Amino acid sequence: MRAIRALGAALLMLGLSAAPAAADTPTASPSGDSSAPTQAGTSFRTATEIEQGQRATANGSTGDYLYWSFPADAGQRPTVHATVKLPEQHTTQTWQVDVYDGLRRRQACQWGAQTRTVGAEAASVDLTCVLRTVRAWSEPWANDPLPGTYYIRLTVVSLSNADLGLPVDAAVQVDSKDIGGAAAVDGSLAEPLVPGIAVTAKKDDDDRGAVLSDIEPDGGWASGWWSDRWVWTGIGAILAALAGIGGYALTRGSGRPSHVPPGV
């Protein structure tokens, strides 16, 4: 019985330690970050790199394509927020934010106002795109989001000729929730989908050659090797051991066959 109580206590401690890992924890957003970018790119190749949690700003004109890029790792569910401050005098406009992965495949939004139309009285427009959870591995034919660089494209998709070229102020921010073991898969990419990483010559461990993107998640790329699913697998193994010990204790009996007479 002491062994059973000890195993039960160990199980309780393991479950308590796993609980925070399983929670959906938003990425912290730094405040007053002087290093946040203040301009946007005009294409995929010139996209401005931002970290998750940074609020990047840019000045532009209606009709421009504004591009940013950010890293997303396995198990994360990124949410892209975009705000456009419109000029004082304007007509009805429709703005849209799109997100593309490292292979420049457009990623669908699970929910959020990805496209929004505002009238002449609106001072700004807010857009949101909640992506699907990034997977550590996927079939080659699938369009699942994978670890690597993601691109944000912000632009107006409908406006009158009179509004073309009017100045606007844009701001974007990306936050993520860690989904944990619920999104874990058996497999991982050899390398994240970062532009240029597949064409570099790897000379040694310290020199990977030129990579077109320098951004990566805090702590590096996890590549899906760890998730809280390992913790719950361990809990399941302990429960199975407890069940086996309890079953043996209940069924072992006195150790003597019931048909053997006493004294034999």
pLDDT tens per residue across span 12-50: 444 444 443 433 333 333 445 668 899 999 999 999 999
Q: Collect all residues with Cβ–Cβ distance below 8 Å to 208 and sequence separation of at least 6.
A: 197, 200, 202
- On the CB side of 195, CA atoms within 13 Å amount to 20
Q: Is residue 99 part of a domain?
A: yes
Domain that holds residue 138: 26-223
Q: Are 81 and 125 in contact (CB under 8 A)?
A: no
Q: What is the mean pLDDT of the chain?
A: 78
Token couple for 81: 């927020």
| Residue 116: partners with Cβ closer than 8 Å, 6 or more residues away | 94, 95, 96, 125, 126, 127
Evaluate whether 98 touches 106 at the Cβ level (below 8 Å).
Answer: yes
Determine the pLDDT at residue 255. 55
Residue whose C-alpha is closest to residue 169's, from 93, 62, 41, 89: 62
Q: Is residue 30 part of a domain?
A: yes
Q: Is residue 241 part of a domain?
A: no
Domain count, the chain: 1
Amino acid at 103: L
Average pLDDT over residues 111-125: 95
pLDDT at 55: 96
Predicted pLDDT of residue 16: 41
Q: With 50 as the cut, is the pLDDT of residue 168 above it?
A: yes
pLDDT of 5 > 70? The answer is no
31 is a domain residue: yes
Please state whether the predicted TM-score (pTM) of the whole model is above 0.75: no
Q: Is pLDDT above 60 for 200? A: no
pLDDT for 180 equals: 67
β-pair partners for 132: none
Per-residue pLDDT band for 91 (boundaries 50, 70, 90) equals very high
| DSSP category for residue 41 | B
The secondary element (H helix, E strand) that includes residue 56 is: strand 55-61
Whether residue 171 lies inside any domain: the answer is yes
The residues, ordered by sequence, that sit 6+ positions from 20 with a Cβ below 8 Å of its Cβ are none
Q: Which residue in this structure is represented by tokens 């429960």?
A: 239
Check whether 264 has a pLDDT greater than 80.
no
Distance, CA of 107 to CA of 144 (rounded, Å): 8
CATH for 178: 2.60.120.380
**SS3 of 146, please?**
coil
Q: Has residue 134 been placed in a domain? A: yes
pLDDT at 35: 81
C-alpha 224/C-alpha 145 separation (Å) is 13
Mean pLDDT of 155-169: 95
* Residue 156 placed within a domain: yes
Cβ burial, residue 71 (10 Å; 0-12/13-18/19+):
buried
Calpha distance 213→162 (Å, rounded)? 38
Report residue 135's pLDDT band, with 50, 70 and 90 as the boundaries: confident
CB 82, CB 185: distance < 8 Å: no
pLDDT of residue 141: 81
Instruction: Give the chain's radius of gyration (CA, Å).
Output: 27
pLDDT at res. 6: 45
What's the whole-number mean pLDDT along residues 49-66?
95
Residue 210 has a pLDDT of: 45
Q: Is residue 69 part of a domain?
A: yes
Phi–psi pair at 58, nearest 5 degrees: -165, 150
Residue found under tokens 């427009």: 125
* Least-confidence region, from 36-45, 109-118, 210-219, 243-252: 210-219
